[in-house]
Structure 1
Amino acid sequence: MEIYQEVLSTELIRDSSIFNYTDVASFCIDRNFTYTPSYLYTNFETVNILIILPLLLFLAILTNLVFIIVVARAPRMRTTTNIYLVSLALADLLYTIIGITEKLHAYIRSPIYFDSAYSLDLWCAVMPLLKNAGLFASMFLVTVFSYERYEAVCHPLTKHSLSSKRRALKHITIACVLALILAATTVPAFANRVVACLKKLAEDEHSDIPDTIILCTPVKQRFELYNDFVQTLPFFLVMIFSNAAYVLIIIEIRGSARDAKLKRADSSRVIQESINITRMLIVNGVVFFILMAPFHILSLSGVISSIITGEYLLSEEAFRWIIQVVRVLAYCNAVVDPVIYSAVNPSYRKAMYQVICSLHILRRKRSNSFGTYSMSYLLTERDRRPSNVNETIT
């Protein structure tokens, strides 16, 4: 963060629309913004960007696509609950894919760690817009899903009369539109694409050091503070609301479990299925907040320190190390969600096993020219029931 203030405080920045690229060498040689080795990626950043982040990207795409395919191919999995989970998976994928590919692009194009390396002005606005849209959509969808489960557990009669896939799609659409609008308000914090020059000394060992670097800077400095604030505030509001809903849900479930012991087995089974889904939601929500909290706490500390002291509390070196760690944790969220679905809820494991087996048999039958078989070959009569059956528990 300090490096942006240093760059902005000099006269080395020129708007990309008027900068004369043909005279880069003569322009840079008289300037005092001098390259230093501290501008290069550290070993930790290199390992993180080239190994850890691509691995997380691969796992996020794999696990979420498997989950989406299972929901799409297993009829009994097409429930209201899974509509929310699929939309959450897509939001997580958007945030993860944009965030990680952005880091990989910058690393490949330039050895300078704060060089955005965007060739077009448009990218400085589009990439943050899409990434923040995915981030806000995840927050809002977690909130809506928490409220839906609260209604399903604590007010089941109301839930039964109001719940439907159409209602779920309406809530998801509203959440995504609000996320996109809120993300659009953060674009001025990055939309000013500028070109800065680096003065290199003759003894510099790195021949690949560029003469110019690209920075996506705020249109006005106050927009950078606004971006940190608007990213942080919704997260903590969502966390408070969702955790309150989780507490009320747990209290209600304990009471329902005691009552189930006095009722017939069918009632107990229905309650147990509802408990499985609710347990999955709570575990998923808690993990979401644990993994995302460090990122938002870091942003909040930056907002508070900027308001109080006018500068960041962390040194440049400490900030660079911490931001790599909190990014990894944030991107891990997209990886662990589908794992939680399978680990906590037995119905997901069963459906996944059936879909994988059906696809395997289908491939074998096709290769042997015996014709094609649909996945319903492996589904039991119970699994063929319409998804709206027992909708009150899903």
Structure 2
Amino acid sequence: MAETCTVNNTITLTYNETLGNIYSRRDVIFVIIVIPIIALFGLVTNSSFLFVLYRIDSMRTVTNFYLGNLAVADACALIFITSKHVWTYMVNSTIQKGIPWKSPIGCLLLYLSYVVYYTSVFIITLVSIERYFATCHPLRHRLLNKKTRAVKLVITTWVVSFGLASFAALPTSTYQLCYNYILTEKTFPKEDAIIVYECKRACANCFLILLIIDMVQFVIACLLNSILYSLIVLKVNKRSIGESIANNNVRNSVIRMVIANSVVFFLCLFPFQIVNVRNLILSFDGYSFISAENLSLIEWIGRATLLLNSSVNPVVYSMTNPRYRKAFLEAFNLRHDDN
């Protein structure tokens, strides 16, 4: 692709638009410090969980098969999302906005990020459904809880995720733009325009479709998980009457894990949904209920919490369930026998 700027592909940004596109000190801190640290932490936690599944035979259950695929999807999300932001900053440290790319690689990373994000949400929901049947309908769960069925569901989840992301996020090509920007209100546009690439998709309204898919999936997943978690807690509480202390401890462990999962899921994914709501409203009536400065902060917080969600899932399962903690210690030879 020839890097040339003409009248047809050159855009002169206003001063306010320039402020919204240039990296601030806060943006740089997020890109080169916060996001890479979270990603590194997440890669360690997810790879450790996969190592536990590999080493401990008793951990190779249907539920952990789902969680293993969740760990793979989360690890990929950490790599793709972090690479996307770091790559954009490294190759073009002036223009910061999320859409322009100095290289078409950014478009592919954006697409793959949506694939693994959708997969993660779907698998979390599959785990909730599996727990619901195990707790509320144990007899039916024994009939349905087959590894072949789990494999089919996980494959379907990955295929559907690729399909949803391809429908709106798959780049067909890129097109070149040149930005002239104004650093202060009194200066003229810079003579040397910055060349960026934007992702070209199959349809004109693909971005709007992507926002709708993202929000609908999030809302449905949140509602479904909340209902399932509530039913699980109610069922476990009913069983606690007349049970032994040991069974009550198991009950409390299940409730802690359920509540922890729901809180982490909602809190980590919610901030970026605020940005999606803003973008959706802006697409229809041009009204933004968030200022440019606050929007930038919420976007970075949303990206950070999205990565944090992909990082802490193994920690939540391990810290709230003694069985997972025991397996972790055994896998890494950290247990000390009393004999």
**C-alpha distance after superposition, 1:181-227 (max 9, x if no partner):** 11111226x545221123478999xx9x7641222255544221111
Inter-CA distance 347–30: structure 2 relative to 1 (3 Å threshold)? closer
Give the equivalent residue in structure 2 for 1:113: 96
Give SS of 2:288's match: coil
C-alpha deviation, 1:75, in angstroms:
1.3
Q: Is 1:193 matched with 2:199?
A: no
Find out whether 1:340 has 2:324 as its counterpart.
no
Q: Can you list the C-alpha shifts for 1:350-381, whole angstroms capped at 9, x where unaligned?
A: 111122127x9xxxxxxxxxxxxxxxxx999x
Give the secondary structure class of the aligned counterpart of 1:117. Answer: coil
Q: Structure 2 CA distance, aligned partners of 1:175 and 1:284? A: 20
Whole-angstrom CA distance in 2 between matches of 1:319 and 1:192: 28
Structure 1 residue 304, shift from structure 2 partner: 3.1
1:98 counterpart = 2:80: yes
Equivalent residue for 1:306?
Answer: 283
Deviations 1:96-150 (A, max 9, x none): 2111110000000002112743434xx3553222111111111111111111111
Given that 1:124 and 1:192 are in contact with CA atoms closer than 8 Å, whether structure 2 keeps it comes out as no
Amino acid at match of 2:52: V
Matched residues in 2 for 1:297 and 1:125: separation? 23
* Cα deviation, residue 162, structure 1: 2.3
Q: Structure 2 length as normaliser, TM-score?
A: 0.86
How far apart, CA to CA, are the structure 1 residues paired with 2:9 and 2:259? 59
Report the CA distance between 1:330 and its aligned residue: 1.0
Q: In 2, Cα distance between the equivalents of 1:293 and 1:29?
A: 39
Q: Who is 2:110 aligned against?
A: 128
Provide the C-alpha distance between the structure 2 equivalents of 1:202 and 1:133, rounded to a whole number of angstroms: 37
| Alignment counterpart, residue 146 of structure 1, candidates 113, 125, 128 | 128
8 A Cα contact 1:192 1:218, kept in partner: yes
User: Structure 1 residues 200, 225: CA separation in 2 closer, same or farther (over 3 Å shift)?
Assistant: closer
Change (3 A) 1:335 1:72: same
- Greater Rg, structure 1 or structure 2? 1
Residue 232 (1) aligns with residue 215 (2): yes
Match of 1:331 among 307, 316, 319: 307
Preserved CA contact (<8 Å) 1:28 1:199: no
TM value normalised by structure 1: 0.75
Unmatched runs of 5 consecutive residues or more in structure 1: 1-15, 361-377, 381-394
Task: Assess, with a 3 A threshold, how the Cα gap between structure 1 residues 198 and 179 changes in structure 2: closer, same or farther.
Answer: closer
| Structure 1 counterpart of 2:47, from 41, 47, 65 | 65
Can you give the 5+ residue segments of structure 2 that lack an aligned partner in the other structure?
none
User: Any residues of structure 2 matched to 1:22-33 within 5 Å, and which?
Assistant: 24=5, 27=6, 33=12
State the Cα distance separating 1:160 from its structure 2 match. Answer: 1.6
TM-superposed CA distance for 1:30, in Å, is 11
Q: Which residue of 2 is the match for residue 292 of structure 1?
A: 269
Offset of residue 240 of structure 1: 0.5
Q: 2:169 corresponds to which letter in structure 1?
A: V
* Equivalent-residue separation in structure 2 for 1:50 and 1:336 (angstroms): 20
Structure 1 residue aligned with 2:195, among 196, 203, 212? Answer: 212
In the TM superposition, what whole-angstrom CA distance separates every residue of 1:269-299 from its partner, at most 9, and x where no partner exists? 5x75476356424422331122101212321
Change (3 A) 1:168 1:212: same
Residue 239 (structure 2) pairs with residue 260 (structure 1)? no
**How many residues are aligned here?**
331
The answer on 1:87 being equivalent to 2:69 is yes
